[in-house]
Amino acid sequence: MSQHLFSGTWHNTLGSEMNIEVDASGSIKGKFRTAVGRPETAHIWKDRWFDVVGFVNGDSISLAINYAPASGATSVISGTLQVDGEQKKIEALSYTRFGLAKEDKWREVVSMAQTFVNGPAPKI
């Protein structure tokens, strides 16, 4: 499967969006905008684009997102490209570590399955 199929804009069901470009070696650079977070920290993440790096190998993709300087959070996403005609999807697992204070360590990590669909996030 050609790695150029990963280049472009993707969104998940939560409304988060990423723009990624894959070079000839399979390296990824891009930006990610999250659509979710705690209301009290919305001023940190809302409408901000964060750096994405990663790799493509065949139909597999691995990404890392750095939410600095807005927060101490990082995410990793690993998935597989699914192509059905014109429709492209990335079925993925993600793991986010928030870097919270000691008293909040119990809620520091979120792990979930998610699907990214090719194209921009729908406007709500």
pTM score, two decimals? 0.85
Complete domains list, the chain, with CATH: 3-118 (2.40.128.30)
Contact between residue 28 and residue 13 where contact means Cβ atoms under 8 Å apart: no
Digit-coded pLDDT (tens) for 81-112: 999 888 999 999 999 887 766 776 666 778 89
Structure-token pair, residue 53: 């790096």
d(CA 14, CA 11): 8
Digit-coded pLDDT (tens) for 9-52: 999 998 899 999 999 999 999 999 988 766 666 677 778 899 99
**For residue 98, with 0-12 CB atoms within 10 Å meaning exposed, 13-18 middle and 19 or more buried, which class applies?**
buried
**Vertex 11 angle, CA 119 and 89, to 5°:** 75
DSSP tally for the chain: helices H, then strands E: 1, 8
